[in-house]
Every structure is written in C-alpha cells, then in structure tokens.
Amino acid sequence: MSRLNDTIREQLENRIERGCQILIGDANGADRAVQQYFADRGYRNVTVFSADSCRNNIGGWPQRKVHRDRPRRDFAYYAAKDVAMAQAAKCGVMLWDGKSKGTFHPSAA
C-alpha cells in the first residue's frame, strides 16, 4: 500500500464509500497495489480482468477472463483485457507511472 500516494488512496476510499463496482486488471504494480488496498478493507464489489490465466487476484474476487487467439503472451495479448475492461466500465481511473506502455496506449482509453 505504500506504493499508493494519499491522493490515490483518497480516490479509492471515495469509491468504497459510494459502493462502486470496481473493474481492475491483474498485473503486478499498480493493479496489485490497488487490489491490496481493496482487500485490506474487505471490499467485495470488485471484478478482476485477466488474460487466460490470472496473475493477481488478492481478494479472491470474481474474474472475467478475456481470451485472445494469440499464442504469444505479448503486448496485444495482455492489452485485450484492458480494452474489454474499458468497454465494460461506466467511468475509469487509470494510474500511469509515465513509463509503462499499457496505460498510455490508445487502445486502453
């Protein structure tokens, strides 16, 4: 949880207070840190989006697997779940470290 600054934690807490349905990815890094935040608070209104195998589901929440007809586990393989998550969401919050390709990629918006 130390990876999340006060502003991010405040926004996550706001989502909990409002009872929002949370759609989140399964990646290491920000996804995992945010999952940990929700798990620590016992928040259950979370769905984890993943490719064929889920890398992180800290809270044991329901999963939505997004299958791709790609044998290689490359950028497009994992980006498919981000696109599906964005399409299913009513609104979104993206955390970007200024480096990673996924969050900033146009298909993720």
Below-50 pLDDT ranges, the chain: 1, 108-109
6-104 architecture in CATH? Answer: 3-Layer(aba) Sandwich (3.40)
> Residue 60 and residue 62: Cα distance in Å, rounded?
7
Q: In degrees, to the nearest 5, what angle opens at C-alpha 103 toward C-alphas 52 and 47?
A: 45
Sheet holding 22-25, edge to edge: 22-25, 46-50, 63-65
Q: What is the pLDDT of residue 1?
A: 43
- Residues ≥6 apart with Cβ < 8 Å to 43: 16, 22, 59
Q: What is the pLDDT of residue 88?
A: 94
Q: How many CB atoms lie within 10 A of CB 18?
A: 7
Q: What is the pLDDT of residue 67?
A: 78
